[in-house]
Amino acid sequence: MNKDVMISVRGVKRSFGKLEAVKGISFDIHRGQVVGFIGANGAGKTTTMRMIATLEMPDEGDIYICGSDAVDDPNSVRSKIGWVPDDFGRYQNMTIVEYLDFFARAFDYQDQERKNRIQEVMDFTGLTKLKDRFIDKLSKGQGQRVCLGRALLHDPDVLLMDEPAAGLDPKARMELKNLIRILAEEGKTIFISSHILSELSEICDTMIFLEQGEVLHHGGAEELKRGAREGVSVLVKILNDPQVLENWADMNPGISLLDKTNKGGRLLFEQSSDDFLAETLKRMINEGIQVIEFTQEETTLESAFVDLLNQAEDKELASK
Ligand SMILES: Nc1ncnc2c1ncn2[C@@H]1O[C@H](COP(=O)(O)OP(=O)(O)OP(=O)(O)O)[C@@H](O)[C@H]1O
C-alpha cells in the first residue's frame, strides 16, 4: 500500500438488523490531508468513523490506518489515531488536569515527561487557565477542547473528529478551526464529520459526501460546484404575480424554475453564456414580464450538495 495513504477504507459495509447503515464504501485519505465527511442525519457518518476508530467492526470490507489493519490489529491502530467524539463521558469531581493525567498514564507517559506533555496539550488547546475546573461543569466548547487535548496526548498521526463544531458558538468554532489549521500545518491527517458544509469547505482540502450509506462525491469544493449542475442559476424578481414567471419558464426550453419566491423565483438556464443571458432577459421583458431584478447566482456548496442529491435520486428512479 502507498505509504502516504493514512486511512484506507475498502468496500466497508455495516448493518444494524435490516438497516444497511454503510453500504460498501471505499476511499483513501493521504498524509497531511484535512478531509470533511459530510452527510445528512443518519447518512452513516458516525458508524463509519467508529469503524475507523476501531469502536465498531465492519460486517464486510477492510480498513487500514497507516498500514495497520483495524480489524486484525486494532491496538496498533489505536496508537496511531486520536478520536474526538461528539461528546464524552464527564466524570464527576475530576478536574481537567486530573482527566488528562489519567489518559497520559494510560498512554504510558512517565513522571516529568507526562507533566510536560499535559502542559503542552493544555497550552495548545487553551486549557491551562482552566486546568483546575471540574470537567462536568465545563461549557460545550471547553469540553470539546478537553476532548481534543485528550486525543492529542499521544501525538497521533491521524485525528478523527465527529461533529466537533456541533453546539459551539461562533467564537468557539473559529478557535476550533484555528487549532485544526495548526494541526494540519504540523502534518497531521484529519478526518472531520459535519453537516455544516460551508464551515468545512474553509478548512478541508477535500470532502466526502455520504448519502444513505453510500459515497456520492469525493473531491474538492470547487470540483463539487462544477460537477453539480450545468448552466447557471439566476434570481429573478418581478412586479407581476410570481406564477407568471413559472408559466413563462414552462414554455421556454432550456430554462426551468428551481424554486419560487414571493416576488419571482430562481431560474436555471442550461446555457451560461453572457449572450444567452442578455438575450433571455430582453425576451422576458418583451413578453410582458416586469423584471425588477435579474441576478446571476454563484453556486453555493449547499446548493451543489442538494443538486447532487437530486441527481442521485433521479438516477435511482430511472433505474427502477
Ligand atoms: N447501534 C445502532 N443500532 C441500530 N441502529 C443504528 C446504530 N447506530 C446507528 N444506527 C443507525 O444507522 C444509521 C446511520 O447512523 P449514523 O449515526 O452513522 O449516522 P450519522 O450520519 O452519523 O447521523 P447524525 O448526523 O445524525 O449523527 C441511522 O439510521 C442510525 O439510526
3-state SS assignment for residue 21 = strand
Give tens-digit pLDDT for 68-99.
999 999 999 999 999 998 777 788 889 999 99
* Contact between 193 and 83 (Cβ < 8 Å): no
Ligand 1 pocket, residues with Cβ under 6 angstroms: 16, 19, 21, 39, 41-47, 195
Look at residue 285 and tell me whether its pLDDT is greater than 90: yes
Helix 111-125 × helix 96-106 angle, to 10°:
130
Q: From the CA of 199, how far away is ligand 1's center (Å)?
A: 22
ipTM of the complex: 0.96
3-state SS assignment for residue 13 = strand
Give tens-digit pLDDT for 110-152.
999 999 999 999 999 999 999 999 999 998 888 989 999 999 9
Instruction: Dump the DSSP string for 260-307.
Output: EETTEEEEEES---HHHHHHHHHHHHHTT--EEEEEEEPPPHHHHHHH
- Give the per-residue pLDDT at 46: 93
**Identity (one letter) of the amino acid at 109?**
Y
- Give the per-residue pLDDT at 256: 87
What's the predicted TM-score (pTM) here?
0.79
Domains of the chain by start residue, with CATH: 5-219 (3.40.50.300), 230-298 (3.30.70)
Dihedral pair phi/psi, residue 318, rounded to 5°: -65, -30
For ligand 1, atom 27, which residue shows the shortest CA distance?
A: 41
Largest CA distance in the chain: 82
For ligand 1, atom 4, which residue shows the shortest CA distance?
A: 16
- Give the per-residue pLDDT at 227: 62
Q: From the CA of 178, how far away is ligand 1's center (Å)?
A: 29
Taking all residues of the chain, what is their mean pLDDT, rounded to a whole number?
88
Q: From the CA of 252, how far away is ligand 1's center (Å)?
A: 44
Give tens-digit pLDDT for 170-220.
888 888 888 999 999 999 999 999 877 767 777 888 999 998 999 988 887
Residue 226 confidence class, pLDDT cut points 50, 70, 90: low
Residue 232 confidence class, pLDDT cut points 50, 70, 90: confident
Give tens-digit pLDDT for 12-69.
999 999 999 999 999 999 999 999 998 888 899 999 999 999 999 999 999 999 999 9
Measured distance CA(220)–CA(35) in Å, rounded: 9
Q: Which cell is 110 given?
A: 512517565
Measured distance CA(116)–CA(110) in Å, rounded: 10
Greater confidence (120 vs 301) lies with: 120
Q: From the CA of 163, how far away is ligand 1's center (Å)?
A: 13
Measured distance CA(153)–CA(122) in Å, rounded: 10
- Give the per-residue pLDDT at 218: 87
